[in-house]
Structures are given as C-alpha cells and as structure tokens.
Amino acid sequence: MSNTTVLPSRPGAGTPGKEKDVPRRRPGPTVGKYISVGLLVLGAIGMIAPFLWMFTTSLRDASQAYDLPPQWLPTELDWSNYADAVSGPVPILKNMFNSAVIAIAVSIGMIITAPMAGYAFAKLEFPGRNSIFVGLLSSLMVPAQVTIIPLFLLMRAFGLLDNPLSLILPGITGALGVFLLRQFFLGLPQEIIDAARMDGATAWQTYRLIALPLAKNAVSTLGVITFLGSWNAYFAPSIFLNSTDTATLPLGLVLMLGPYGAGNVAQVMAATTIAIAPALIVFLVAQRWIIASLTQSAVKG
C-alpha cells in the first residue's frame, strides 16, 4: 500500500495543471502570510526547544544544569555526563541492550507472521476467512489494561516474569500488521498470482517469490513501526520486568530520574539523549514512509 499513494510533499502537488493558471509573478506576501508563518515558527520552536534544552544540559556540569536564564546553545562540549550516565548505578547500557533485543525480536517476528496472514486474508480462499479477520481486527479495540492482569498471571504461570520472552511472545503477532499488509496485498493484481499458479508454483512459492518481494515497502514500514512501538513501550515492561538487570531503557531512565526528579539532571539528560537517538535516526531515514503509511488509512477511510 505504501507505494500506491505517496503523500504529496508540497501543497498543490496533487494538481499539476493548476500551476499554469497562477500568474508567475504573484503579489508579495500579505500580512496574513507573515502572521501565519510566525505562528508556525513559534509552534516549531515549542516542539524542538525541549529537545534542545535536553541536549545542551547533557553537555553541562550538573551544578550549572539549572542555570537561569537558560542557555539554549551548548557553550562547551563536555561529554563527561555521558560517561557518568553509562557507568552510573543504573546499568543503562544493559537496559538499552535489553530494549534492542526485545524490539528486534518483536520486529522480526512481526514481519514474518503479519505478511503471511495478510496475504492469506487478501488472496487465499478458506472457510471462515472473513469472520476470522473481523474478529482479529476487533482486537485492536481491546486496550492493554484489560488484558494485562491475565497476561501477568499467564507469564507468572510459565515462569516468564522478569524474562524478555514475556514481552517478545505477545509482540510477534498482531492485528495492526496483518491489517496493513492485507491492504497492500488486496491492491496486488490477481493476474500476477494466477500467472504464477498456472506456471505450477505452489501457494508458498507464489507468496515467497512473487507477492512478498513486491510488498517490500509495506513490510519495511511495518518493521519500523513495530520496532519503535517496542523500543518506546513502558506499560507492559514496567509490570513484567522487575529487576534492574532485565529492565528496558525506559524503565532504567525512570529509575535514574528518581522520585520527584531527584536524580542528577545533567546525567539524566545525557541518558535521555542516548535513548532518543534511535528515534531520531529512524526519523531521518524513514520519515517519508512512516508519514505516508500512517496517514493513508485515516484519509482513505
């Protein structure tokens, strides 16, 4: 689905013929335009300022962390807070590793199971197909808080509490991914499938060699979304994991922050900067995909 519609990146991009009607020399920007750009700039500053403050504070000595008036640009590049944050009492590198293991395992599982199911729901006939799909889809409406207590009891019964498997197992399948991929495969011309079948390919071969490679973009998007979702998760980890050694990064950081923000703020900001880095990288690399795939379902209805 992600390669069928790409979000036009500038207003008016959807109507190419329109440009011609507009006189080349337009009247200069109006007052209204200045005001609206001003508002947009203000809003953008409000969005970015907290991250800027985080970064500059991470480069300052803890004693100056709360200096007022606040300094927005780094005056020195003192990376010692990063070293201290890493070697501090909270093993944030270990926590980061735990987060990465869980997020990678969950993403790999999801990009294996969801496209298979999505393909079956879109292209294979089997009794009960539609009712199963609708049932599956309705699970999107079940909030995590309802199932968390039985899940906790289940993991406890399996002896999986405080074990990354308690987060990986429930994460490797999910309705959202199936829905995304089914949408993609529905758009795939049936002739391609039929041709492969007529050439004697089995259903598995058709899927693996024909359909799946075509779904590359949709699968990558699903992988990124799943990774970020798991990397950012707090609620379930906070309940299933209870030792600092198994904790994921968000749990470690909350521990580091301490009650009522009593921790060393410069070190906490250094650690938070480290924690945010993957989101920043994913953002820089995959922004277009993510935006396109996130906005499509809403607009197309």
Hey, how many other C-beta atoms are within 10 angstroms of the C-beta on 58? 24
Tell me how far the alpha carbon of residue 87 is from its chain's centroid. Answer: 28
Residues 6+ apart with CB under 8 A from 47: none
Q: How far is the CB of 78 from other proteins (least distance, A)?
A: 18
> Which whole-number Å values give the CA distances from 248 to 9, 11, 104, in the listed order?
36, 41, 13
User: Which are the contacts of 220, defined by CB distance < 8 A and separation ≥ 6?
Assistant: 286, 289
In sequence order, the 6+-apart residues with CB closer than 8 A to the CB of 173 are: 109, 110, 113, 114, 117
Shortest CB 172 distance to other proteins, Å: 7
Q: Residue 94 or 239: which CB sits closer to other proteins? A: 239
CB of 86 to other proteins, least distance (A): 17
Nearer to other proteins, 218 or 228 (CB): 228
Give whichever of 18 and 216 is closer to other proteins, judged by the CB atom: 18
Could you give the residue ranges of the DSSP H alpha helices within the chain? 18-21, 31-58, 80-87, 92-123, 129-138, 144-157, 165-171, 175-186, 190-198, 203-205, 212-214, 216-232, 235-240, 249-257, 265-300
CB of 164 to other proteins, least distance (A): 15
Q: How far is the CB of 95 from other proteins (least distance, A)?
A: 12
Distance from CA of residue 83 to its chain's centroid?
28
Would you say 83 or 112 has its CB closer to other proteins?
Answer: 112
Radius of gyration for the chain, computed over Cα atoms and rounded to the nearest angstrom: 24
Least separation in angstroms between CB 25 and other proteins: 14
Q: CB of residue 279 vs other proteins: minimum separation in angstroms? A: 5
- Residue 100 or residue 151: which is nearer to other proteins going by CB? 151
Rounded-to-integer distance, Cα 45 and Cα 90, Å: 32
Q: Which is nearer to other proteins, 101 or 132 (CB)?
A: 132
Please, which residue, 184 or 207, has the CB nearer to other proteins?
Answer: 207
Displacement of CA 44 from its chain's centroid (Å):
21
The contacts of residue 78 (CB under 8 Å, 6+ apart) are: 59, 60, 61
Nearer to other proteins, 80 or 193 (CB): 193
Whole-number minimum distance, CB 299 to other proteins, in Å? 5
